[in-house]
Structures are given as C-alpha cells and as structure tokens.
Amino acid sequence: MSEATKISACLVVYNEESVIERCLASVKDLVDEIIVVHDGECIDKTLAIAKKFTDKIFVREHIGEAEPHRVFALNQATGDWILQIDGDEYLEISNHQKIRDLINQSRCDGYIFQWELWDGKEPVHFKGLQKMCLYRKANFHYLGVPHQIGSVDKGPEILDLFLRHRPIYNNISWKSFLKKKRGWVPIHARYFFPELVFYESFNYPVEDWKKNSYLIRKNIAKYIIIEPIINLLGQLKNGLWTSGVGINIALQQYIYYLSLYLKVWKLKKTYGK
C-alpha cells in the first residue's frame, strides 16, 4: 500500500475482552496502524489483548460515551484514511482488497457500509441500517458530542460491503435499550450546555454547535414535542418500516430523544438560559 493510501484504524473501547481480538484480527492486514483509546480505567484484559496488535494504546478519563474520545483518536492517527470501528464489530477479510481498491480510486471522501444488529442468536439487517466507517481524514468534519456521526466534503457513497456487528448480548431488546438509555441520556444532555463540558472537535467549528445548543434550549418545548416525532418518521423513511425489528428500533430512537430533550429541559431549569 502506498504512502498516499495509508489507513489508520481507530477504536474507542470499554472493557471488551470478549470481542476485541476478533475485531483487531479482522483489520490488522488491511490497515497500516491501529489506534486504541480506552474510556477510563480498564478492568479486564482488553488492553493486554490489544497490545498483541498495536503499541498505540491510550487510556483517557472515563466519560461513558465513545464519541467524545474519537477526536483524540483521530489526532493520533497518521493515515490519510480512517477506518472507524468498534470493539464489537469486524470486517470480513475477503473484502480487504475491495476496500483497498476503493481508496485507491478515491471517488469520494467517505464510504457507508451496510451494518447489522444482533438479537443474541443471529444478525439482523434491514434497509437503512448503515454506518459510515471509512473516510478521508483531511476532509472529515466531526464534533465529539454523543451520537454525532460526522460528515465529509464529497460523498459519502453507500456500499454493499458489511461492517459486521456482533456484541455478546441481544442489543435490540428493550432491556438492553433501557439500560443504555439510563446511562447515555444524562451524559448526552450535558453536551447541550457549553458551560458543563469541554468540546473536542476535528475540522468542525465548535461555535456552530454552541449556537445550535442555545437554540434547542431556547425552544425546548418544541423539541420535546416535535423533534422525537420527526426523528421517528425519519427512521421509518430510511427503511426501518420494512420490518418489525426496524419499527422496534425506530420506537426506541423516539423514546431516546424524548428522554434526552426532557433531560435538557430539566438541566435548563438548573442552569438557566
């Protein structure tokens, strides 16, 4: 692989000893370097396993969300292209050459892979379940706020290739969703208050987010009532309506954003305008 097509794999993980080796083994022959960032102190064998694949391992202060750490990971990467992958995901090795060819062609700045969920026994995929995980670093724009996706200048292009997603638990059950929601919503809500957090950004004007968060807080009643419905309809429009599982996921997203804006409303009462 030429210098112009160097790839860096960037992972943000949290105590994932049961899946991390499968992930790293699936990318080690594709990428030129692997960056592993751990969200707080590691209490299992995740980092010991990661050391078999890379020496670029970093432990940061625990936040409870991956996105605020991604900017740090990007800044450690030396590759022209970034493969963003989670510890419970992996690539099929048979697709390595296709991925190299894509990068060499450089038709756009980012690629969206097909994605999947796991019901505890088998993978679940339906139209609209996708994830942008490969992008040109120089033309990527990102703010380290929970559940932010990021954007690229040109593209992205949707591929038929899969980013496999196989956690060790049923990640589409309501039990799993409600547990994640309880942990994520209080963290996510704080990022609407610039006085409460420090924003890390990559090719992204932080002031844009601050203005946006102010508008949301100013019109929070609208966001509590309208935005979760818009999100629900958007999810269904993207194809989730084509299956019972998809509708289930869309409803979970509706409840998540309803809970999020209610939490922002409560914080607004504490921290004022």
DSSP assignments along 177-197, one per residue: HHHHHHHHHHHHHHTT-TTT-
What is the structure's pLDDT at 4?
A: 57
Confidence check: pLDDT of 243 > 90 = no
pLDDT digits 0-9 by tens, 20-60: 999 999 999 999 999 999 999 999 999 999 999 999 999 99
Over residues 151-200, the pLDDT tens digits come to 999 999 999 999 999 999 999 999 999 999 999 999 999 999 999 999 99
Q: Which of 126-135, 153-162, 200-209, 255-264 has the lowest mean pLDDT?
A: 126-135
Q: Which residues contact 212 (CB under 8 A, 6 or more apart)?
A: none
Confidence label for 68 from pLDDT (cuts 50, 70 and 90): very high
pLDDT at 273: 60
CB 39 within 8 A of CB 12: yes
DSSP of 210-237: HHHHHHHHHTHHHHHHTHHHHHHHHHHH
Q: How far is CA 153 from CA 80, 84, 109, 140, in A?
A: 15, 17, 7, 7
- Residue pair 191/213 in contact (Cβ under 8 Å)? The answer is yes
User: Which helix H or strand E contains 49, and what residues bound it?
Assistant: helix 46-50
Give the confidence band of 2 by pLDDT, cuts at 50, 70, 90: very low
**What is the CATH code for 3-165?**
3.90.550.10
The pLDDT assigned to 1 comes to 43
Average of pLDDT values for 118-125?
A: 91
Report the C-alpha gap between 23 and 43 in whole angstroms: 19
Domain residue ranges of the chain, discontinuous segments joined by +: 3-165, 174-271
Structure tokens at 94: 């048979």
pLDDT, residue 118, reads 93
Residue for token pair 């968060």: 213
Give the pLDDT of residue 272: 67
**Whole-number Å distance between alpha carbons of 77 and 81:** 9
CB atoms within 10 A of CB 22: 16
Rg, Å, the chain Cα set? 19
* Start-to-end CA span in the chain (Å): 53
| Contact status, residue 70 vs residue 143, Cβ threshold 8 Å | no
No. of helices (H) and no. of strands (E), the chain: 9, 13
